[in-house]
Amino acid sequence: MTDYLHIQLPPDQIRGISSIGLAHMGDAVYELLVRERIVLKANRPVSELHLQAVEQVRASYQSQAYAVIEPLLTEEEAAALKRGRNLNSVKPPKNGNVRDYRRATGLESLFGYLYVQGRLERINELFLAIETALEEQQA
């Protein structure tokens, strides 16, 4: 990611952001990473790019990503992950799995939390771990 997307808020301002706000931010950060990796891997028609992105940002995939990174997290990061996962206001779609949706929200909250701290290197490190582990599982 480049510096023009970089923000770094002071800790008191970060504490003022709700978990759902962090998840909202993290959803965008995570999707941008997915799209970036897909585009850099190969030139494809936009319909294929879209299908690949949708596959990787859906709740069931993000739930698997949650499982990959959970053991890699610091105590502080794990707290941000769990805060997002435990949100009571999160309701999955009618055909969605509650566990997957909650874990996906936790993952997005963590990415949002790291983003507002300006910890882009850590975001990329975790995303690479997800990408590596889940690509190996699919192979």
What confidence tens digit (pLDDT) does each residue in 13-52 have? 888 999 999 999 999 999 999 999 998 887 888 888 888 8
73 residue type, one letter = L
Residue 69, C-beta contacts closer than 8 angstroms, at least 6 positions apart: 107, 110, 126, 129, 130
Which sign does the torsion angle of CA 129, 54, 85, 138 carry?
negative
Is 3 assigned a catalytic role? Answer: no
**Is this model's pTM higher than 0.85 or not?**
yes
- The Cα 66–Cα 100 span in angstroms is 9
Q: Select from 93, 111, 97, 91 the least CA-distant residue to 19.
A: 111
* Residue of 3, 12, 27, 100 marked active site: 27
